[in-house]
A = this chain, B = another copy of it.
Amino acid sequence: MINAVNIIRRKRDGHSHDDSEIESLIRSYTTGEVTDYQMSAWLMAAFLNGMDDNELFSLTKSMLYSGQVLDLSDIPGKKVDKHSTGGVGDKISLILAPLVAACGVPVPMISGRGLGHTGGTLDKLEAIPGFRTNLSIEHYKAQLRQIGAVLIGQTEEIAPADRKLYALRDVTATVEFIPFIAASIMSKKLAEGIDALVLDVKTGRGAFMKTEEDARNLAMELCEIGTHFGKDCTAWITRMDSPLGYGVGSWPETQEAIRCLHGENVTDVMEIVYTLASEMLVLGGSAEDTSEARKTCEAAIYNGNALDKFIEIVERQGGDPTVVEDPTTRIDFEMVAEAPATATGYVNDINAYDIGLLAVEMGAGRMRKEDQVDPLAGLILLKKPGDAVQQGEPIARLYTGKLDRISEFSERATAAFSVSSQPPDLEPLLVGRLANGTWTSN
């Protein structure tokens, strides 16, 4: 029988746990033998006294093996996934997964739902009528083998310890601790059966990591865990001060992703898509280097192969391909207001955090866990940082079912834009890259 009080006391007093202590703590917490109130005392002690690398690996391993670990070794090729730490307007996965699969690298992608002010890939996919993300493991494996890509949600069987711990951290002020965040991400990703992983660690006011230093530390811990478990990892730090692209909300983002697959060049979105996709091709062994990989990816967009792959995915997962073939065909999607610019000049920046929270309140996300997402709610920005605007000119379109709050929403959208008389110096979107333990600044 576990002595939870002794384990808590050891972390409280600044000791390092050995592998068996962490393993028994997490296992006993998963079964309920260790209570929530004991676990939260341990979480706070670890938060304040820190965890070393061995403890981080043990924690990840314990969370990983608390559930099912998929085996994709009978599917040919190196399976590569991408994980983003979450931002506003981040529809990258919807373009990236079919693009990389179209270039010959299998992409087994298990995604999440919206969290806080950020959206989630599953919510966006489900804005395609009929699209199912709750596939069986058999379907998941068969689809990956047959068409090279599959996009599903986390099943009950994957990393149950992480689910339980995450819910507890959320209500005990123990969320913002890099080792916990890293172990949570990697325990789920390692359970997918991947061979390699590309990470998009966001930094800035619309990201969970507000500072570059925190983003770098998280990227390092994520890659160290990957390496420890024998998986190749490359991480990019990317800026998340203003929203990515123009759409924010499920259908506004899915529609934009589909337009990108049709060849529309939304520059910030496609810059990140090509950067991450190139890394995935290299890790997957289908390109020698990232510049060769990038050419392959650009070709797959322009020749329509990536779009065709997305249509294949949508069909295999029960979705209506007509909205992918022509994204203007969702007839129930209607703008209800336009937010105007308050001054003439140049858009200086757009506060991604404020826009993210606004979209959530407009119905695009969940205020509480049990809330339903409105797939049609959100915004389409009409201006991006650096663009010239005239006072009174529309700068964002609003989509919401909460018609009684339209004027409030419109004011908040306007307030998220700052306008200056001179064009701003735009900061680079790509901040730095971590590969094989080496940082390269962009």
Task: State in angstroms the CA–CA spacing of A174 and B45 once bound together.
Answer: 10
| Partner among B4, B5, B40, B47 whose Cβ is within 8 Å of the Cβ of A37 | B40
Task: State in angstroms the CA–CA spacing of A168 and B36 once bound together.
Answer: 12
Tell me if A172 is interfacial: C-beta within 8 Å of chain B. Answer: yes
Tell me if A9 is interfacial: C-beta within 8 Å of chain B. Answer: yes
Interface residues on A, range: 20 to 34
Contact A168 B37 (CB under 8 A): yes
| Partner among B12, B35, B43 whose Cβ is within 8 Å of the Cβ of A41 | B43
Interface string of A24-45 (1 = CB under 8 A from B): 0000000000011111110111
Given A8-B172, A172-B8, A41:B38 Cβ within 8 A: no
Chain B residue, CB-CB nearest to A6: B173
Interface string of A45-89 (1 = CB under 8 A from B): 101110000000000000000000000000000000000000000
Tell me if A331 is interfacial: C-beta within 8 Å of chain B. Answer: no
Contact B5 A41 (CB under 8 A): no
Contact A172 B5 (CB under 8 A): yes
**How many monomers of this protein are in the complex?**
2
Chain B CB within 10 A, most for which of A37, A38, A49: A37
Interface string of A157-190 (1 = CB under 8 A from B): 0000000000010011110000000000000000
CB distance from A152 to the nearest CB of B (A): 31
Chain B residue, CB-CB nearest to A169: B41
| Partner among B4, B6, B48, B171 whose Cβ is within 8 Å of the Cβ of A38 | B171
Chain B residue, CB-CB nearest to A174: B41
Give chain A interface residues in 1-33, CB to chain B under 8 Å.
Answer: 4-6, 8-9, 12
Task: State in angstroms the CA–CA spacing of A171 and B5 once bound together.
Answer: 6
| Partner among B5, B35, B44 whose Cβ is within 8 Å of the Cβ of A44 | B44
Task: State in angstroms the CA–CA spacing of A35 and B38 once bound together.
Answer: 12
Contact B41 A8 (CB under 8 A): no
Chain B residue, CB-CB nearest to A172: B41
Given A40-B37, A40-B38, A41-B41, A12:B171 Cβ within 8 A: no
CB distance from A61 to the nearest CB of B (A): 24
Task: State in angstroms the CA–CA spacing of A43 and B5 once bound together.
Answer: 14
| Partner among B5, B36, B45 whose Cβ is within 8 Å of the Cβ of A36 | B36
Chain B CB within 10 A, most for which of A9, A38, A172: A172
CB distance from A51 to the nearest CB of B (A): 14
User: Which chain A residues have a beta carbon within 8 Å of chain B's beta carbons?
Assistant: 4-6, 8-9, 12, 35-41, 43-45, 47-49, 168, 171-174
Q: List 13 A-B contacts (CB under 8 A).
A: A12-B47, A35-B36, A36-B36, A36-B37, A37-B39, A37-B40, A37-B168, A38-B172, A40-B41, A41-B44, A41-B173, A41-B174, A44-B44
Given contacts A5-B171, A6-B173, 11 further A-B contacts (CB under 8 A): A4-B171, A12-B174, A36-B36, A37-B168, A37-B172, A38-B171, A41-B41, A41-B43, A41-B44, A45-B173, A48-B48
Sorted from nearest, which 5 A-B pairs have the closest CB atoms? A41-B172, A44-B44, A8-B173, A36-B37, A9-B173
